[in-house]
Chain A
Amino acid sequence: MAEKELMYGNHALVEGVIHAGCRFFAGYPITPQNESPEYMSIRMNEVGGVFLQTESEIAAINMLFGAAAAGARAMTSSSSPGISLMQEGLSYIAGADVPVLVVNIARGGPGLGNIAPAQSDYFQAVKSGGHGDYHTIVLAPNSVQEMFEFPRLAFELAEKYRNPALILADGLLGQMMEPVEIKGEPIDPKTLPEQDWWLTGCKGREKRVIRSYDLRPGKLEEWNWRRWEKYQKILKNEQRYEDIKIDDADILIVAYGTSARVAEAGLRIARQKGLKVGLLRPITLWPFPSDILSELSKRIEDILVVEMSLGQMIEDVKLVVEGRSKIHFIGHPGGGLPNAQEIYNKILEIRSKK
């Protein structure tokens, strides 16, 4: 087995980004992700990349737009209020079919909220947070290992579909330490093949244009339907999830990221007491892992959704389940955390009503 290194989540993310061949970072300081850009400024300097501390998150997302349009693997990292500021830019980027990576180390909201870990930006992330019909690919890590691995996956998916990708995590994942295994060879960005839409200067070819508008009657509708076809492909091919003990489960927990870690601890207590509890952890929040959940809901009567919010992913669960199972909920908005005992108690309660 490869050697493991003890890392903070925010540092693992940076190493993952560099490993993925990204050499362009632009961002504006905000807690709880400051360790990322601070460390990034050092690492980008070492590898000859670009590090820009911007005047705002608005500038940062637009710098990504330019860098990615010119052919760079480009990323930014921020937290909830900063991600809100990026939404107009993200809409343009999605509308222009440009791949970028945006990392949201989410915190309690709304407003300035607090800096505690939260999952209350789910809607914004998966339902197109900016204007217009669009989707971003959303990955939700739940370990420092995944903080390292997902930047590469995010860039690969983003480029495969020419679509912005998001990593949605929280301060807990950013600030905790875990051993990380550096998997795979680092990517040298110079080896990435030139794409036929990159802006490089039109030497020996027709000019290229990157834009998100089309004012000709009917044309934007056509263009959006083409993007819809792309979304259908993503929905069909890219659903990712982890499942734990689902085979014999008669109660299923659905939780992602930090909530899924706590849910897993609750599951272990329940299993020790002989209760048949399983866990489905969405890894892609968009595309949501509907296929597996739909299957499971055909035989599992009770589904418990655990979220650090007032209840956002639960809406997607309900859409998929279509009334086949009873949906239960544990939610902690405003930076509150669930705990394992609470989850176990809820399972007991569900059990007693069976």
Chain B
Amino acid sequence: MKLLFGRPAGLTDINQRYCPGCGHGIVHRLIGELLVEMNIREKTIGVAPVGCSVFADEYFNCDMIQVPHGRAPAVATGIKRTRPDCMVFTYQGDGDLAAIGTAEMIHVAARNENITIIFINNAIYGMTGGQLAPTTLPGMRSTTSVKGRDVVTQGYPIKVCELLNALDGPYYLERVAVDIPRNIIKTKKAIKTAFQYQLDNKGFSLIEILSMCPTGWGVTPVQAKKWIAEVMANYYPLGELRNRAKEAK
């Protein structure tokens, strides 16, 4: 029998524990494919966060380390400075990256550290049960904002790409989404571009990916995809915010 569609060799055989309709699995697959297509699986070291993707250390078929909540950029810095020839990426949720890990995020970008951050923005804390995240939209319900995020008492969301775009450091910043096939293809292209820049020693990239969390949002997988297109992408506009390669031309 001929295999027409299977798991890329960049992912292990372990069954992923993500909920049905979750965006994490899609992004995992894209990275898993790129590890093979770009022939970098054997030189990649990935950094898994704390969050629903904590098990990423099991899922990616490359050397992996699982680290404290929010500290992946610091760990990645230590790895990259020790093994500059390795491809180093972190995989982080919004709580991990933009709440507890804000300082590490900003400084790794300011240093233009030659690593790649894959940032899953699902506007919620998935793993701990759907609490307010730094990315939760105004008015959006969570288990700690049951009447909807009140910006008077709970403040405004953080737009990570825009925030980092204020720094001179970053080389490449792009926001994408994994709601529909066209966007998934764009996401893969963005991650590939970021990995390639790292291989070319260009410096720091962050790819922000708007990603579904049907469980945390309390909606069906189909509704979750629609919500990204209709609501989330309005607050977090998709597109390239920074690309030094293009500026140079």
Contact = CB atoms under 8 A, between A and B. Distances in A.
B75 A65 contact: yes
Contact of B42 (A68, A89, A202): A202
B65 A210 contact: yes
Of the listed residues B63, B77, B83, B87, the one surrounded by the most CB atoms of chain A closer than 10 A to its CB is: B63
Interface stretch (B53-61, B201-209, B225-233): B53-61
Interface string B43-65: 11101100000100110111111
A65 to B, nearest CB: 5
Contacts of A199: 45, 63-65, 79, 83
A346 B82 CA distance: 52
B104 A66 contact: no
Given A59-B74, A59-B104, A207 B61 contact: yes
Of the listed residues A50, A64, A71, A207, the one surrounded by the most CB atoms of chain B closer than 10 A to its CB is: A207
B68 interface: yes
Of the listed residues A58, A66, A69, the one surrounded by the most CB atoms of chain B closer than 10 A to its CB is: A66
Nearest to A23: B82
Given A65-B67, A89-B68, A199-B65, A55 B107 contact: yes
20 contacts: A24-B82, A50-B82, A54-B107, A55-B104, A58-B71, A58-B74, A58-B103, A59-B104, A63-B75, A64-B78, A65-B74, A69-B65, A72-B82, A74-B78, A199-B79, A200-B86, A201-B85, A204-B42, A210-B65, A211-B64
A62 B57 contact: no
B122 interface: no
Given A59-B74, A59-B104, A59-B107, A201 B62 contact: yes
A92 interface: yes
A207 B63 contact: yes
B74 A70 contact: no
Contacts of B103: 55-56, 58-59
B136 interface: no
Contact of A62 (B45, B48, B78): B78
Contacts of A55: 103-104, 106-107
B75 A62 contact: yes
Interface in B78-107: 78-83, 85-87, 103-104, 106-107
B82 A213 contact: no
A203 B75 CA distance: 21
**Chain B residues touching A, range:** 35 or more
Nearest to B69: A88
A66 B74 contact: yes
A101 B66 CA distance: 20
Contacts of B64: 199, 207-211
B71 A59 contact: yes
B66 A63 contact: no
B51 to A, nearest CB: 13
A179 to B, nearest CB: 35
B77 A92 contact: no
A212 interface: yes
Contact of B63 (A26, A74, A201, A213): A201
B41 interface: yes
A64 B65 CA distance: 13
A200 B44 CA distance: 8
A63 B63 contact: no
A89 B78 CA distance: 13
B42 A62 contact: no
B83 to A, nearest CB: 5
A52 interface: yes
B203 to A, nearest CB: 16
A208 to B, nearest CB: 5
Contact of A70 (B44, B58, B82): B82
B76 interface: yes
Contact of B62 (A26, A59, A96, A207): A207
Contact of B82 (A54, A56, A66, A207): A66
Contacts of B58: 209
A116 B63 CA distance: 44
The 6 closest A-B pairs by CB, nearest first: A66-B78, A67-B78, A62-B74, A66-B75, A63-B78, A211-B66
Interface string B165-180: 0000000000000000
Contacts of B54: 213
Contacts of A63: 74-75, 77-78, 81
A70 B179 CA distance: 36
Of the listed residues B41, B48, B75, B83, the one surrounded by the most CB atoms of chain A closer than 10 A to its CB is: B75
A57 B80 CA distance: 19
Nearest to A91: B68
B111 to A, nearest CB: 9
A67 B104 contact: no
Given A201-B86, A207-B64, A66 B42 contact: no
Nearest to B44: A201
A202 B41 CA distance: 7
Interface in B173-227: none
